[in-house]
Chains A and B, each alone.
Chain A
Amino acid sequence: AQTVTQSQPEMSVQEAETVTLSCTYDTSESNYYLFWYKQPPSRQMILVIRQEAYKQQNATENRFSVNFQKAAKSFSLKISDSQLGDTAMYFCAFGPNFGNEKLTFGTGTRLTIIP
């Protein structure tokens, strides 16, 4: 079974600064997906960014980027130029393979952006 670990229960950062959220996982699979989801106070889970394990290039989406270290089983999320709207719970998630969307989620990191 896969496990996902987020070791930072809470973080805070000043607006416009950069913050990195950590995630490690454990799996015996070679091909899989990794995701960062955001859950703001409104509760709607929103995909922030995804990474396919077979791709060596780190995924980026505007201000969001990941540092994917497959050998170390590490998948951190970097938020640049943080904005107040980034305040939310962030969940790292592992997806075993295409066609199997039974994701395993980490325990989450509560991120607060301070004005």
Chain B
Amino acid sequence: SAVISQKPSRDICQRGTSLTIQCQVDSQVTMMFWYRQQPGQSLTLIATANQGSEATYESGFVIDKFPISRPNLTFSTLTVSNMSPEDSSIYLCSVGGIQGAAGELFFGEGSRLTVL
């Protein structure tokens, strides 16, 4: 398994500002993903965080709005830029490729953002 720590756990932000969410894993992992969970909704994949290269974004998500860094195999950040109330969501970091857990994703506790 993997232990994933996310910071901040929650935050209240003003419209037009940006916030960076950190994700730290207790072991090296090949795959890291960022998901968004809007209030009462399911999980939507934002992007795959690639170590040493640009993230791979899903349809509807762009780098200018959600820049992602992944400097090594245990750490990633997601920035939510120029926030609006529509960005109020839970943002979840997840990892995969864990030995003995084929196909399975492990999740952090999520970061709940509220944009006023």
Name A's B-contacting residues (CB within 8 A). 33, 35, 42-47, 50, 52, 91, 93, 95, 97-103, 105-108
Contact = CB atoms under 8 A, between A and B. Distances in A.
A97 B104 CA distance: 10
Interface core residue of B42, B103, B104 (most chain A CB under 10 Å): B103
A99 B107 contact: no
Contact of B104 (A42, A47, A107, A108): A47
Contacts, number: 59
A97 B48 contact: no
The prevalent SS among residues of B at the interface is: strand
Interface in B78-97: 90, 92, 94, 96-97
Contacts of B92: 45
Interface in B48-84: 48
Across chains A and B, which 9 residue pairs bring their CB atoms closest together, nearest first?
Answer: A101-B96, A45-B107, A33-B103, A95-B103, A105-B43, A98-B102, A43-B110, A107-B42, A105-B42
B43 A101 contact: no
B90 A33 contact: no
A101 B97 contact: yes
A91 B42 contact: yes
B103 A108 contact: no
Contacts of B102: 33, 98-99
Contacts of A101: 31, 33, 94, 96-97, 103-105
